[in-house]
Chain A
Amino acid sequence: MTAVTTLSDRLTAVVLAAPDVHTLYPPKTALHALGAKLIAGEDEHRERAPKVTVSETRHGTTIKVSVGLTGEHPATSVCRNLHDIIATELAAAGATLPLNIAVRIATISTQH
């Protein structure tokens, strides 16, 4: 049996394994903005863990990731490190250039 790992799966695993990352948030949907009640029915298929968003076309590859950090190390350094490890993965995967890697820090926990 062969396991099929997509680029999104690989990047998700890499991001979640990165130091200081404790949460990967899903991309915001239009429905989200309309309110929780409207997306309640969407919950079933949203219960899968969020993934890094990958959009690859012949014009390039765009990556979007929104994370929550533990706050142990400086968030700016962690953010740059995330970019770098994603860029390394994309290079190894032969992703279409140019690359656009958007990393957003959405929460920082500083209670420790």
Chain B
Amino acid sequence: MTEPRSPHDFAGFDIPDPVRLDGHTIEELSAYLDAERTPTNFSIESSPGCQIALTALTRLRELTAHTLEVQAAVEPAPPDSWVHSIMNRIALEARTGRDIPIAHSAPTAHLTMTEGAVRGMIRVAGDSISEVIVGRCRIDGDVTVPGALVTVAVDISVAWGESIPIAADRAREAIQRQLSKHTELNITAVDITVQDIRFAGTGTVAGTSRQ
């Protein structure tokens, strides 16, 4: 019999456990951050996936710490399962994924950008909105074919007391801006789903709102 899924797990997606990035688990990367990245671990520092995950973990820590600071007097701490769920998503999405071609007229050129790099960029863009934490992002469509129609689906968590539509719009704008600047993907939509509201009442409020 399986354990009932936590209401704080993002969108109820199955996540292979444990996800490894070039041999490192997300827990190892978190511990590496705890140790302030010393002594230097060459295997971690030379892995693009680990670097993407470390960036996202650092941002997650900043955001959750800030929220706790602001709301410590009246709100409970976020449940471990909620944070752990996002950490697992970070690990999953930091993996290399598909190669996205970059056009060049020279026949000698074979230029690509990894799907992991794009997902990492999307997460940073979404997390740059102060009231938003990105839970999950997915790129749908055949990104390996130039010009193919692509949609981006992002689940976010919004801070209690903030306007959900405004937060969703701000996250979408930030993500679209970065995608437009750095990729040649033919993005038809950036779908934002507000998966929950953080730290209200008894913790995270379950519920989904498509924006």
State the A residues within 8 Å of B (CB): 23, 25-26, 28, 32-40, 43, 46-47, 50, 66, 68, 71, 74-76, 79-80, 83-84, 87, 98-111
CB distance from B109 to the nearest CB of A (A): 5
Please give, as numbers and ranges, the residues of chain B lying within 8 Å of A39 by CB-CB distance.
23, 43
Closest residue of A by beta carbon distance from B177:
A110
Instruction: Please determine whether A36 and B46 come into contact, CB atoms closer than 8 angstroms.
Output: no
Known contacts A46-B42, A83-B111, A101-B110; A74/B181 CB under 8 A: yes
Closest residue of A by beta carbon distance from B122:
A110
Known contacts A36-B23, A74-B181, A104-B112; A110/B121 CB under 8 A: yes
Which of A33, A84, A102, A106 lies in contact with B48, CB distance below 8 A? A106
**Most chain A beta-carbon contacts within 10 A, residue among B103, B109, B128:** B109
Q: How far, in angstroms, from A38 to B43 measured CA to CA in the complex? A: 11
B162 proximal to A (CB < 8 A): no
Interface residues of B in 108-165 (CB under 8 A from A): 108-114, 116-118, 120-121, 124-125, 128
Known contacts A36-B22, A107-B51, A110-B125; A102/B113 CB under 8 A: no
Interface residues of B in 17-70 (CB under 8 A from A): 20, 22-24, 28, 42-44, 46-48, 51-52, 55, 59
Closest residue of B by beta carbon distance from A38:
B23
Closest residue of B by beta carbon distance from A78:
B182
B169 proximal to A (CB < 8 A): no
B102 proximal to A (CB < 8 A): yes
B173 proximal to A (CB < 8 A): no
Please give, as numbers and ranges, the residues of chain A lying within 8 Å of B59 by CB-CB distance.
111
Closest residue of A by beta carbon distance from B107:
A98
B73 proximal to A (CB < 8 A): no
Instruction: Please determine whether B112 and A105 come into contact, CB atoms closer than 8 angstroms.
Output: yes
Instruction: Please determine whether A25 and B48 come into contact, CB atoms closer than 8 angstroms.
Output: yes
Instruction: Please determine whether B102 and A108 come into contact, CB atoms closer than 8 angstroms.
Output: no
Which of B43, B108, B116, B184 lies in contact with A87, CB distance below 8 A? B108
Instruction: Please determine whether B112 and A80 come into contact, CB atoms closer than 8 angstroms.
Output: no
CB distance from B144 to the nearest CB of A (A): 13
Known contacts A25-B46, A107-B120; A102/B110 CB under 8 A: yes
Q: How far, in angstroms, from A23 to B120 measured CA to CA in the complex? A: 16
Please give, as numbers and ranges, the residues of chain A lying within 8 Å of B183 by CB-CB distance.
75-76
Instruction: Please determine whether A110 and B23 come into contact, CB atoms closer than 8 angstroms.
Output: no
**Most chain A beta-carbon contacts within 10 A, residue among B99, B114, B128:** B114
